[in-house]
Amino acid sequence: MDQACAYGNRPVIMTYDSEFLEVEELRVSVPLYYVIVDLRAEKDTVVILRELQSAFPTAKSQAEKDVQNLLGAFNQSIAERSVEALKAGNIELLGKLMTEANKEFYRVGGAICPSQLTAPMLHKCLEHPSLQPYILGGKGVGAGGDGTAQFLCRSAEDQEKVQDRGKGAERHTGQWRGPAHGATEAHHQARMQGAVCSGHSGRLQPSSLPSHEGREA
């Protein structure tokens, strides 16, 4: 993650293989409109990583075999298809791949770490009916759990609509805190009424810079 941040506002692919790290700049052919959501819920990253790591190096059950496939062949397939979608400017496919990756991660991860990867708030946010007309897909972030969600929106206008629904919900409840710098915050409501997002969001512009040697997946 720190290595990727060194490239600034440029998408890069980072591939790890044991001690080997390769970094490659990714050319994005169209703007991408994301909304990042702080779920304001609880998660324990240490527990998640410990339970996933328990499947390595030798799987002792079918659940652990599924984790190995999830973080191995399935992850590689998703990453490769996503890179091709980005290069081709196929944001509809990219959104579908985000959703596919999220569903498989929580199907498999939920079996081995149910205390953290059931993630009810994340799924309520991603599946909220009021947001579906404006998004192409969504998924959790990082190690997963009820920490952060991300949406890929259909357009800049749809990005604003996703945010506006959250702003209206928070103002209605009197708990609007104002926008977070460079990100979108979500208000955690018990019945998940209205929208769940508010604040700023990011726009990833097409890359016009020369590629760099180096890489992370």
Residue 6 lies inside a defined structural domain of this protein: yes
Beta bridge partners of 23: 14, 215
Question: What local confidence, expressed as pLDDT, does residue 184 receive?
Answer: 34
pTM for this prediction: 0.77
**Mean of pLDDT values over 21-28:** 86
Looking at the 3D structure of the chain, how many domains does it have? 1
- Burial of residue 35 (number of CB atoms within 10 Å: 0-12, 13-18, 19+): buried
**For residue 86, what are its two tokens?**
């980005």
Q: Is the dihedral of CA 55, 61, 66, 51 positive or negative?
A: negative
User: Do 97 and 82 contact (CB within 8 A), yes or no?
Assistant: yes
Residue 43 lies inside a defined structural domain of this protein: yes
pLDDT for residue 35 is more than 90: yes
Q: Give residue-wise pLDDT tens across range 136-194.
A: 999 999 899 999 999 999 999 999 999 888 665 444 433 323 233 333 333 333 222 22
| 8-state DSSP, 71 | I
Residue 158 lies inside a defined structural domain of this protein: yes
Residue 209 lies inside a defined structural domain of this protein: no
pLDDT for residue 119 is more than 80: yes
**Interatomic CA distance for residues 139 and 124, integer angstroms:** 12
Residue 149 sits in a domain whose CATH number is 3.30.70.890
The residue that leads in pLDDT, 214 or 36, is 36
Residue 216 lies inside a defined structural domain of this protein: no
Residue 145 lies inside a defined structural domain of this protein: yes
pLDDT for residue 215 is more than 50: no
**For residue 162, what are its two tokens?**
């996703």
184-185 and 32-38 strand pairing: parallel
**For residue 88, what are its two tokens?**
């081709």
Question: What local confidence, expressed as pLDDT, does residue 47 receive?
Answer: 97
**Mean of pLDDT values over 38-54:** 94
Question: What local confidence, expressed as pLDDT, does residue 165 receive?
Answer: 81
Q: Give residue-wise pLDDT tens across range 56-91.
A: 999 999 999 999 999 999 999 999 999 999 999 999
Expressed as residue numbers, the domain containing 64 is 2-204
Judged by DSSP in three states, 20 sits in: strand
Residue 171 lies inside a defined structural domain of this protein: yes
Question: What local confidence, expressed as pLDDT, does residue 5 receive?
Answer: 78
pLDDT for residue 209 is more than 70: no
**For residue 46, what are its two tokens?**
């240490």
